[in-house]
Amino acid sequence: MKDILAQLESRRETARQGGGQRRIDAQHAKGKLTARERIDLLLDEGSFEEFDMFVAHRCTDFGMAEDRPAGDGVVTGWGTINGRQVYVFSQDFTVMGGSVSETHGAKICKIMDMAIQNGAPVIGINDSGGARIQEGVASLAAY
């Protein structure tokens, strides 16, 4: 059981790194925060609950099958601001320029649906290069 929990934590840490340390450093060099850093500053400390941390895109064209980062370029979940519930998404520019794929869009739609169900606002933090061109029409459908 300890091995399974260690593997899970390792996968979580990899997902938290987004596109990796080199890309995180590039964000910081531009004076920009990462998607997770923005969420951490926005929400009450310790209140963020992430959804779909391990979701990856389904594209296999143009060599995309070899590059399937966990989270697919967007961090989604809920937390509180001054004790009030909010749903939030923050696009992660360190992962493929924050480009929107079919699954990226589905993650955002999921929290929007949850927000409607719970009567809570949605806050979106956009940092994206647009649609993920490798997915063609599927990425456009996410919009």
pLDDT, tens digit only, all 143 positions of the chain: 888 888 888 888 888 888 889 999 999 999 999 999 999 999 999 999 999 887 765 655 656 556 556 667 899 999 999 999 999 999 999 876 677 788 888 899 999 999 999 999 999 999 887 766 666 666 566 66
> DSSP assignment, residue 12?
H
Sign of CA dihedral 28, 9, 90, 131: positive
Residue 105's CB: how many other CB atoms inside 10 A?
A: 20
**Would you state the structure tokens that stand for residue 131, as one six-digit string?**
């649609």
Which of 114, 123, 37, 129 shows the shortest CA–CA distance to 139?
129
Asked if residues 5 and 43 have their Cβ atoms less than 8 Å apart, the reply is: no
Torsion-angle region of residue 71: left (phi > 0), alpha (psi -120 to 50) or beta?
A: left
Domain regions of the chain by residue span: 2-142
Which of 96, 131, 127 shows the shortest CA–CA distance to 31?
127
What global pTM score does this model have? 0.83
Domain 2-142 is found in CATH 3.40.50.2000: no
Dist CA 114 CA 120 (whole Å): 8
Asked if residues 114 and 53 have their Cβ atoms less than 8 Å apart, the reply is: no
